[in-house]
Amino acid sequence: MRLNKGRIGFVLPAVVFLAIGSLFPFFYSLVRSFQNWNLNVPGDKITFTGFNNYAQLFTSFEVFGKPLVITIIFVISSITLEFIIALLLALLISSRDIKGKNFFRTCLIIPMATTPVIVGLMGKYLFSDFGIINHYLGKLGIPPQPWLGSSTMALIVVIIVEVWQWTPFMILILEAGLNDIPQTAVEAADMDGAKPWQVVLFIKLPLLKRLIVLALMLRTMDCIRIFDMIWSLTGGGPVNATETVSIAAYRIAFRYFNIGLGTAYCFMILIITILISIFYVNILTREEQGAW
């Protein structure tokens, strides 16, 4: 099939824009990740160092290992809580006996529509030493807690804020899947005497497999690259206790001005994200082939 000149004229601007806005920065950054470019050293020449930047990441636990462990804890905790809460609420909303569903759905959009930076600042004021949380704890006779001053509690606060903002996303996805389940299957199970938890475990969840995997994949990729909410909430502190890989890459590149190492850091995050995406896609492929 031939493309006439008119069609090429319509497609060409989009191709040029894609090349300039995406492909060129990508390959430019890729080249920089193999170079030694440190702006802290005046007059330092940019030299090609091969895989030295990547090797430095793997040989330093403080630079890459610790942020990676924090990211793994953050991602697993957030995704697990979001899925459990979202599944329970989606089952509740999809019930025919529940009134006010449209109002509840509207309320769910509010956290998702709020800018992550604003969400982080809200969490910062809520959990600060003189915030609302400690204020009401004091009324209950509980001493103020160092929510953002303790390494362990700061990470818990970050997880709570993340779960609050993005659980509605999974609720809407799971509810849509539950509404598409054929009622005949549920009614047949009820007639056979199946209990509500058996209907959920053996009928609804198996029919939601693909949708669950898709939702988990999207949320996992988003959690790995999260930056703005954590930065406005804790700044990666205290003592780097909430420093995920994205924040660590930012510090290296734009605080320590080691552009070569920071760029290599970003590509390692990209590689990890791609590997996790391949894992989820393989699960979807196995499910389509009936391997489950």
Kindly report, as residue ranges, where domains of CATH 1.10.3720.10 are found in the chain: 33-288
> Does the pLDDT of residue 227 top 90, yes or no?
yes
> Does the pLDDT of residue 42 top 80, yes or no?
no
**Fold that domain 33-288 belongs to in CATH:** MetI-like fold (1.10.3720)
pLDDT digits 0-9 by tens, 22-32? 888 899 999 99
pLDDT confidence of residue 99: 73
CA distance 93 to 86: 10
CA triple 285-245-278, angle to 5 deg: 10
CA distance 219 to 109: 16
> Does the pLDDT of residue 1 top 70, yes or no?
no
> Does the pLDDT of residue 44 top 80, yes or no?
no
pLDDT confidence of residue 6: 60
pLDDT digits 0-9 by tens, 249-272? 999 999 989 999 999 999 999 999
If pLDDT is split at 50, 70 and 90, which confidence band does 5 have?
A: low
CA distance 127 to 159: 13
> Does the pLDDT of residue 232 top 90, yes or no?
yes
User: Do 54 and 259 form a contact (C-beta atoms < 8 A)?
Assistant: no
Q: Please state, as a whole number, how many other Cβ atoms lie within 10 Å of the Cβ of residue 22.
A: 10
User: Do 287 and 206 form a contact (C-beta atoms < 8 A)?
Assistant: no
